Amino acid sequence: MEKNLKVIHSGNVVIEDDVEIGSNCSIDRATLGSTKIMNGVKIDNLVQIAHNVIIGKNTCIAAQVGIAGSTLLVVIV
């Protein structure tokens, strides 16, 4: 019988200035590197943010949202 292997998450979480995080949110640290929540982000209640996610400046996340690992929510101009 094969065994499951655990992936160690040795990264971190960076939360910049003026960020609001609602009740019962979960922000996972990165596998490697950083999970980043940039300046001015507003996160409603019951939000799951997985590993290595980057959420760009002044983004709003509605309640009960799940964001998959390594997702980039940034404005590209």
9 is catalytic: no
C-alpha–C-alpha distance, residues 77 and 62, integer Å: 24
Q: Which of 51, 52, 55, 61 is catalytic?
A: 51
List the catalytic residues.
51
